[in-house]
Amino acid sequence: MSDVFVSGFSIVRNAVRYRYPVEAALRSIAPLCDEIIVNAGDSDDETLEVVRGIGDPKIRVFESVWGDEVTVGNLMHSLQTNLALDRCRGTWCFYIQADEVLHEDDVSEARAAMEQHAEDPRVEALVFDYLHFYGSFDWIGTGRRWYRREVRIVKKATGIRSVAGAQGFRVDGRKPRAVLSGARIFHYGWAKRPEVAGQKVLQWYRFRRDPEWQKRTRYSFRRIPGLRRFEGSHPGVMRGWIERDRWDFEPRDYPRDWSWKSVKAILSDAVERASGWRPFEHRNYVRVG
């Protein structure tokens, strides 16, 4: 991509146990990157072997220990993300999480956005549209309870840092100035069989030091509002994964979720359908341009 050096970076731990498609994630951004930095945590499965087994010379792996002493407020993920970001040498840095995949159809969109805004001092980050898969690879979550967009490419020279649970970024404590890239991220974090999703939820509560985490050993999907059948194509790097992990998920077979969170989502979605406005939407960026 012209003379702009691009770094990819990611963090991963216990990807085999929790069924994160980390190999597909890293392969999906490789066409855009001159290097990919991977922070491999102290896993008790074969995650390190999976990442090293990709065999791409662009990938540089370093190992780290994700101790419980830094998990308060889920800060561990942002701290580990910043360790990877610190090792990046690129002008642009593409952050991909272990359950996120870039579609090959969108590589040109992401490349064009980086080229267009590389020298623009107003632009500190690029934003991607999200497709959130829920239950299986055939259903996506839409509506208020799912974030529509997120920052995934950042300019390192701004001093940008990952914050909180490593979903968003900040520049000197403020939200980064960003433009839409026109590209999509396919998020597979909730496209899991119930027994695997349950392990993920248990880990989530443990990281937050929930006093009841040891009792949260069971998980059941719910018929949440805004589920839609996915009619498009999955990224090519996910085809083998989907063939191995596909299972039959039909939302109608599960109890409807009537939690207050879902009720608020239903009301908000109704407003959005009628007006095109998503009330009180949280954004981890300030849109410019």
Q: What is the pLDDT along the chain (289 residues), one digit of tens a residue?
A: 557 899 999 999 999 999 999 999 999 999 999 999 999 999 999 999 999 999 999 999 999 998 764 455 568 899 999 999 999 999 999 999 999 999 999 999 999 999 999 999 999 999 999 999 999 999 999 877 889 999 999 999 999 999 988 889 999 999 999 999 999 999 999 998 877 765 665 565 555 555 554 555 556 778 888 899 999 999 999 999 999 999 999 989 878 876 766 666 666 666 666 666 666 678 999 999 7
DSSP letters of 115-173?
A: HHHTT-TT--EEEEEEEEEESSTTEEE-STTS--EEEEEEEGGGT-EEETTTTEEEBTT
Q: How many C-beta atoms surround the C-beta of residue 200 within 10 A?
A: 18
Beta partners for 126?
153, 179
pTM for this model (two decimals): 0.89
- Burial (CB < 10 A; 0-12, 13-18, 19+), residue 5, is middle
Q: What is the pLDDT of residues 77-126, one digit of tens each?
A: 999 999 999 999 999 999 999 999 999 999 999 999 999 999 999 999 99
